[in-house]
């Protein structure tokens, strides 16, 4: 018997990118000129209503690893390259703090 929740909890079919708000927008919308804070806010606003923002951010963080902001590009998952560096550093510090130190 199929769970009554099966329909609501099943992941939608297809690639997550196909459900992205940005899929039909020019890439430049998410790569605003340095210092253009209105454009940054506009791009972040689009990400805020994107149904796949969490997946997008997770993918970006996995791809970029410990890269510096200069090696990251565009707003992804609602965060600028600099913000993603800060997220990475916060999580890396939390992981280090949670890792038991070996005792002799
Ligand atoms: S969250 Fe990611 S997939 Fe969604 S609009 Fe922003 S950049 Fe595009």
pLDDT in tens, 25-36: 999 999 999 999
**Domains: count for the chain:** 1
Q: Residue holding tokens 């992804």?
A: 76
Q: Does ligand 1 come within 6 angstroms of the Cβ of 43? A: no
* Residue range 35-81, pLDDT digits in tens: 999 999 999 999 999 999 999 999 999 999 999 999 999 999 999 99
22 lines ligand 1 (CB under 6 A): yes
Q: Whose CA is nearest to atom 2 of ligand 1?
A: 77
Closest CA to 42 of 25, 60, 63, 58: 25
The crossing angle, in degrees rounded to 10, of helices 53-64 and 81-98 is: 70
Whose CA is closest to atom 3 on ligand 1?
A: 20
Domain that holds residue 33: 17-98
Contact assessment for residue 56 and residue 76, using Cβ atoms and an 8 Å cutoff? yes
Q: Does residue 103 fall inside a structural domain?
A: no
- Within the chain, where are the H helices? 6-9, 37-48, 53-64, 81-98
pTM of the model: 0.83
Q: Is the pLDDT of residue 6 over 50?
A: no
């Amino acid at each position: 018997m199929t769970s009554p929740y099966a329909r609501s909890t099943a992941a939608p079919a297809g690639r997550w990118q196909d459900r992205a708000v940005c899929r039909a927008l020019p890439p430049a919308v998410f790569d605003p000129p340095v210092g253009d804070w209105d454009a940054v806010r506009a791009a972040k606003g689009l990400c805020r209503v994107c149904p796949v923002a969490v997946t997008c951010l997770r993918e970006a963080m996995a791809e970029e690893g410990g890269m510096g902001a200069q090696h990251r590009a565009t707003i992804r998952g609602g965060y600028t390259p600099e913000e993603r560096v800060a997220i990475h550093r916060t999580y890396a510090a939390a992981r280090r703090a949670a890792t038991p130190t070996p005792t002799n």
